[in-house]
Structure 1
Amino acid sequence: MSETTTSPGTIRITADAGPPKRRRGLALGIGAALVVGLLGGATAVAAAVTGGEPRTTPAVAAGAPAPQLRLGYFANVTHAPALVGVQDGLLAKALKAAGTDSLTTQVFNAGPAAVEALNAGAIDAAYLGPNPAINSFVQSHGESLSVIAGAAAGGAQLVVRPGITDPAQLRGTVLATPQLGGTQDVALRAYLASKGLKTTPNGGGDVTVNPTDNAATLKLFQDGKIDGAWLPEPWASRLVLQAGAKVLVDEKDLWNGTGTGKPGLFPTTILVVNKAFAAQHPQTVEALLRGHVAAVDWLGRASAAEKASTINAALQKAAGAALPADAIGRALANITFTTDPLAGAYPKLLADGVTAGVTKPADLHGLFDLRALNTVLAQSAGRGRASAAGLGQD
């Protein structure tokens, strides 16, 4: 792993990985290493993710505001509430009003790495995809984290080289996902299984799935070294617009509204918090949610140009580069920003994780704690309550 400073107080954490080849060997090596982290416990490998010993927060009396909040998120358009909340100071302002004077951030490439840092105590809260949250909850027997809000729905696609027009043609191909056990990785493996195509976490099966950094995926696709990828925005749009990829599957078409009553919507990004931190500092968690709701509300009001400008400014700071206008425009058109975590979708997400071989059957009751979110929402006229769908408190 490597760390590079991208802005004051912000560390970008990425995996150092060589380019995937058209062979099983690399997938086997990457997959075997990551399976240990996913199925053997995230805390054991957290030092590798954070680049050293987890930072500690000074002791504070239980129930008092935390002096600082350490937040993780990705440099993806699907994480726009975090990008906007940090860029425009909405999160820091809400936290300061509640007595938390410091907000520090870390930028991750994928959910499993963020969960490892969360479980190790290196961060207190994180924006990430639902499947890493599920896996952590299951592995910890419900002790690691709580889902406290939704952030984004939609915005994930399987994009492939133009010659592939039917799922049957995926047999023997090499596809990429951001990280083994991540939300897009699980979605791809479950989709392939539904088409009779086998995969294994260590890279075997009918289709080779290589966990790959998103930026490397774009280059590998351009070089013809992979056949496609299941990616979140803006990376799906970048492969389409910059590398000539074609959409084989838009994930929204796989969701018929079962469990959520909202056809075409599926959770892509959620906000989670370390359970121990939340128990000790409930005011800080509620303040984080005030800033989060403000960011989501702004995304709902802003014009397309305003959203693109603010998100691009945040991406420049977090990842070192802004997006072309066509890429960010296409990406934003595919995403719905919402504080609703779409909890009713989680039984399917868990089942998909089991099918993918990266989690185990489990009871998800207790995964959600939406009480603070609903307190914040109740203070705005016309705002409905978020539902835990029987999987926690709301």
Structure 2
Amino acid sequence: MKKILTLGMVLLVGVVLAACGSSSAENGSNDTVTIGYFPNINHVAGMVAEEKNLYSETLPDGTEVKYQYFPDGSAFMTALETGDIEAGLVGPGPAMNHFTSGAKVSVVAAGSTGGTVIMARPDAGIESPEDLAGKTFISPRVGCTHDVQFEALMKGEYGMTSDRVGGEMKHVTGKPATYSSMFKTGNVDAATVPEPWASFIEEQGTGEVLIDTPDVAYGETLPAAVFVTSNELIENDPELVQSIVDAHKKATEFIQNNPDESKTIAIDKIKEITDQELSREVIDRAWERITFTYEVNGEVLQDFANSSHDLGFLDEKPDLTNLVDKSFIE
């Protein structure tokens, strides 16, 4: 409970500060730039950029840089649309869903790929994916990135769906940090788990890998995190957007060239934000399932969106033609 309350308090402070300040859209200036991200390992570029003060290196002199942390993609996208943040890292699912709902946002880079693992409780009687019929699985949110990856695999390869559409698997939702304890108490049988929580579960011995990252739908090609900003900012101040993306690129290159220091930053930052301390062994194992890159593949995002529609998470088949703007990374 302490961990959840600590994160909640941090998020509440972030919301209060955002509400008390004036955004660049409101005051017509860009004296303050706020970057958002999640406290998880797919968003290490955000942690590195904050720790190394990289945005101050690329933004105009005198620009104040702030950071806001989010519990889920919906909250992040809402903050982006209302101007509480200028840019940041979010899962592809929320970015895609808000775009198809009419949000004027653009994916201008990727943050990472990979990192989704399907795990099973050791005593749940699950030896293969076929054994998931009648079992309860958990994902962070209905229709989130990891949920779609799991359900697309199960429907496409095994002809199995969740009870959301009258299928054989029971679906519940919850925070990934709680999955280990839920396995231990027997509340769930399987989980679609983002890193580093899959590696944490492995370390705790409360769950076993059923389907590893390469075999999950879009496992190694789908961006696990994308870097997004508003179309309004792109239209009004493309130079500022370029400066923001340049800092994100610097952070990504730092991770690629300095993995050990980047791991330490991730461990310290996750502990600072969530009060959850992860071991170096957990981070080392999780790192092997993730590729940190700012290159973004729009075709993979479209394929993923098609899967989300096929699964019934989207009412209409989406057209993501204008979602990705690669001009800032080329």
**With structure 1 as the length reference, what TM-score do the two structures score?**
0.74
| Structure 1 partner of 2:106 | 146
Structure 1 residue 74 corresponds to structure 2 residue 73: no
User: Equivalent residue for 1:28?
Assistant: none
2:272 to 300, 317, 323: 317
Name the SS of the counterpart of 1:12 in structure 2: helix
Determine the C-alpha separation between the residues in 1 that align with 2:10 and 2:31.
Answer: 20
Report the 3-state secondary structure (helix = DSSP H, G, I; strand = E; otherwise coil) of the residue aligned with 1:368: coil
Number of equivalences: 321
Contact 1:159–1:248, Cα closer than 8 Å, also in 2: yes
Identity of aligned residues (%): 25
Equivalent position SS for 1:323: coil
Distance 1:191 1:344, change over 3 A: same
| Offset of residue 265 of structure 1 | 2.9
Q: Work out whether 1:91 is the aligned partner of 2:90.
A: no
Deviations 1:225-253 (A, max 9, x none): 11121121101111122143111112322
Contact map agreement 2:149 2:216 (CA 8 A) in 1 = no
| 2:161 maps to 1:168 | no
Aligned to 1:182: 144
Instruction: Summarize the Cα distance change of 1:223–1:313 in structure 2 as closer, same or farther, 3 Å threshold.
Output: same
235 and 114 in structure 1: CA distance in 2 versus 1, 3 angstrom threshold: same
**Residue 222 (structure 2) aligns with:** 266
Instruction: Name the SS for the 2:276 alignment partner.
Output: coil
Give the match for residue 324 of structure 2: 368
Structure 1 residues 246, 322: closer, same or farther in 2, change over 3 A? same
- Counterpart residue number, 1:307: 262
- Read off the aligned partner of 1:249 and give its amino acid letter: I
Alignment of 1:1-394 (within 5 A): 11-12=10-11, 56-58=22-24, 59-61=26-28, 66-95=30-59, 98-99=60-61, 101-140=63-102, 143-162=103-122, 163-194=125-156, 195-199=158-162, 201=164, 205-254=167-216, 264-303=220-259, 305-359=260-314, 360-374=316-330
- The C-alpha deviation readout for 1:26-75, integer Å capped at 9, x for no partner, is xxxxxxxxxxxxxxxxxxxxxxx9589956415454xxx61112222111
Q: Which runs of 5+ in 1 are unaligned?
A: 14-48, 257-262, 375-394
Contact 1:200-1:357 within 8 A present in 2 as well: no
Tell me which protein shows more helix as a share of its residues.
Answer: 2
Matched-pair contact (CA < 8 Å) for 1:175–1:226: yes
Q: Partner amino acid for 2:200?
A: R
- Deviation, 1:312, is 1.3
Partner SS for 1:83: helix
Structure-2 separation of matches of 1:207 and 1:193:
11
Query: Which amino acid in structure 2 is aligned with residue 291 of structure 1?
Result: A
Whole-Å separation in 2 of the counterparts to 1:76 and 1:147 = 19
1:263-296 C-alpha deviation (Å, 9 max, x unpaired): 9432111100122233223222111111111111
Match of 1:23 in 2: none
Alpha-carbon distance, 1:330 to partner:
0.3
Moved over 6 A (4+): 3-7
TM-score normalised by length of structure 2:
0.88
Distance 2:17 2:175 in 1: 21
Residue pair 2:183, 2:206 contacting (<8 A) in 1 also: no
